[in-house]
């Protein structure tokens, strides 16, 4: 059964926004779908809250559709060198101390 994963993230203070978004388009989207059981992956730059006042505590929300959630988890539990390299690249931009990862079943 398909699962959907959401990552709520902030960049590290010294990360360049343009470089990160170029990395998403040129590296992270295609490599993630090549290496992992992901059928859809896109990030959205958060511009603000749709309801309520104040700033969002996150800069991005990333949405991934996972075809085989057990295989997805296994790929991170025992990463191949390619997956480990991709993870290192991601976390060179993302502040892992503030990131939140959520998942659930897609309602169709």
| Extended beta strands in the chain, E state | 3-9, 38-45, 60-66, 100-105
Dump pLDDT digits (tens) for 49-81: 999 888 899 999 999 999 999 999 999 999 999
CA torsion sign, 11 to 12 to 13 to 15? negative
pLDDT at 1 over 80: no
pLDDT at 12: 97
pLDDT at 54: 87
Dump pLDDT digits (tens) for 73-106: 999 999 999 999 999 999 999 999 999 999 999 8
CATH topology for the 3-105 domain: Alpha-Beta Plaits (3.30.70)
Question: Could you identify the residue written with the tokens 């749709």?
Answer: 50
Q: Where do the domains of the chain lie? A: 3-105
| Coil/strand/helix, residue 7 | strand
């Amino acid at each position: 059964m398909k699962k959907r994963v959401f990552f709520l993230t902030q960049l590290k203070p010294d990360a360049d926004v343009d470089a990160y978004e170029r990395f998403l388009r040129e590296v992270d989207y295609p490599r993630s779908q090549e290496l992992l059981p992901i059928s859809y992956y896109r990030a959205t730059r958060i511009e603000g809250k749709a309801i309520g006042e104040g700033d969002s505590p996150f800069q991005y929300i990333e949405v991934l559709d996972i075809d085989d959630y057990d295989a997805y988890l296994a790929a991170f539990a025992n990463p191949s060198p390619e997956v480990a390299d991709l993870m290192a690249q991601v976390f060179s931009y993302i502040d892992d101390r503030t990131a939140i990862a959520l998942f659930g079943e897609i309602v169709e």
